[in-house]
Amino acid sequence: MNSLTLAERVAVTDKLDYTVLRYLIENRERFEFIPKDVLKDDLGLSDKELQISILRLIKNGALLKKKIRGKDSFSITFTGLDIVATKSLYSKKIVKNLGIIIGEGKESRVMFGYDFEGNTVVVKYHRIGRKSFKKKIENFPTKNWVSMTLENARREYEALQCVKSNMGYVPSPIGFSTNAVVMEYFEGRPLYRAEVENPENVLNNVLATLRVAYLYCGGITHGDLSQYNVMVNGQGDTIVIDWPQATRSETKLGRDIERILLYFEKEFLIEKNIEEVMNYVKGSS
């Protein structure tokens, strides 16, 4: 079933399969791989029921099997998380259909979606930990990858909610579940490959957004601000995307400001005084 789309994988997932997947998510801190007999006892299933469900989930790419101390044990996969999230977004009437993949990075898969009124939305499925463990380990020394992934989705959703409600330039958050964040679709291009008519205006929008995040959202900063995470369109509208690493850190705030100012200086010859910008963002000027 390697070539199935996510929507098709959701369609072949049975009610009992969701019970198994949700159990694995809820018990993620107990075991990374849950032994089959524990699964069977805790869920009160017969051997046959569990076996059928497990085979279907493995075929669907939602489950990973490993022998631990001689016992068949199981872990959910990123695809498993995506399936649970998609099903739940549908039940909550947030996303009705999925479209094509917009972008696939190390830490997420971003897809088009359609809400129940047929509007286009963006569904971002977080995928942290298994492949990008090194980068995150200092922040989450004791967490397993499922927890890290779910926390990233929640952190991104909460940052978008706060910044948007305080008039910052970010996509409007629409909903979230499990590892997925649903947001408004912005028709534009990432700054690094956009034609920019008024770069001064774009920079001001970005800095105003940093200021909102700092002053009204508990002193947070983006944490990975760059020309790759700013989008612009032909009308000069700007948004700052990709907030899962939003955190309260003066060092990261300094780096975010430095990086973005450097880009505008090199690319558009706009020079700003870093101290003044820092004071503006922190509300001291």
Ligand X SMILES: Nc1ncnc2c1ncn2[C@@H]1O[C@H](COP(=O)(O)OP(=O)(O)OP(=O)(O)O)[C@@H](O)[C@H]1O
* Residues binding ligand X (CB under 6 A): 102-103, 105-108, 110, 122, 124, 171, 183-186, 190, 228-229, 241-242
Among Mg ion, ligand X, none, what binds residue 186 when CB lies within 5 to 8 Å by partner kind?
ligand X
Question: What angle is formed at CA 156 by the lines to CA 200 and CA 112, rounded to 5 degrees?
Answer: 85
Q: Is 107 in the site for Mg ion (CB under 5 A)?
A: no
Closest by CA position to 59, among listed 41, 83, 37, 38? 83
Among ligand X, Mg ion, none, what binds residue 115 when CB lies within 5 to 8 Å by partner kind?
none
Among ligand X, Mg ion, none, what binds residue 107 when CB lies within 5 to 8 Å by partner kind?
ligand X
From the list 17, 107, 156, 242, which residue makes contact with Mg ion (rule: CB under 5 A)?
Answer: 242
For Mg ion, the closer of residues 53 and 227 by Cβ is 227
Q: Which residue is nearest to ligand X (CB)?
A: 105
Minimum distance between the CB of residue 132 and ligand X, rounded to whole angstroms? 9
Q: What distance lies between CA 225 and its chain's CA centroid?
A: 15
Among ligand X, Mg ion, none, what binds residue 171 when CB lies within 5 to 8 Å by partner kind?
ligand X
- Are residues 227 and 190 in contact, defined by beta-carbon separation less than 8 angstroms? yes
From the list 60, 79, 179, 229, which residue makes contact with Mg ion (rule: CB under 5 A)?
Answer: 229
For ligand X, the closer of residues 15 and 193 by Cβ is 193
Task: Report the C-alpha gap between 248 and 235 in whole angstroms.
Answer: 32
Task: Report the C-alpha gap between 245 and 265 in whole angstroms.
Answer: 25
Minimum distance between the CB of residue 256 and Mg ion, rounded to whole angstroms? 13
**Helix, strand counts (H, E) of the chain:** 10, 11
For Mg ion, the closer of residues 17 and 242 by Cβ is 242
Closest by CA position to 263, among listed 210, 222, 227, 228? 227
Three-state DSSP class for 212?
Answer: helix
Minimum distance between the CB of residue 188 and ligand X, rounded to whole angstroms? 7
Minimum distance between the CB of residue 54 and ligand X, rounded to whole angstroms? 31
Q: Is 245 in the site for Mg ion (CB under 5 A)?
A: no
Among Mg ion, ligand X, none, what binds residue 162 when CB lies within 5 to 8 Å by partner kind?
none
Closest by CA position to 104, among listed 135, 79, 83, 125? 125
Minimum distance between the CB of residue 120 and ligand X, rounded to whole angstroms? 9
CB atoms within 10 A of CB 159: 28
For ligand X, the closer of residues 32 and 224 by Cβ is 224
Minimum distance between the CB of residue 102 and ligand X, rounded to whole angstroms? 5
For Mg ion, the closer of residues 15 and 106 by Cβ is 106
> What type of residue is 81?
L
- Residues that contact Mg ion, how many (by CB under 5 A): 2
Closest by CA position to 8, among listed 67, 50, 70, 59? 59
Three-state DSSP class for 63?
Answer: strand
- Are residues 145 and 129 in contact, defined by beta-carbon separation less than 8 angstroms? yes
Task: Report the C-alpha gap between 81 and 149 in whole angstroms.
Answer: 9
CB atoms within 10 A of CB 116: 11
Sites of contact with Mg ion (CB under 5 A): 229, 242
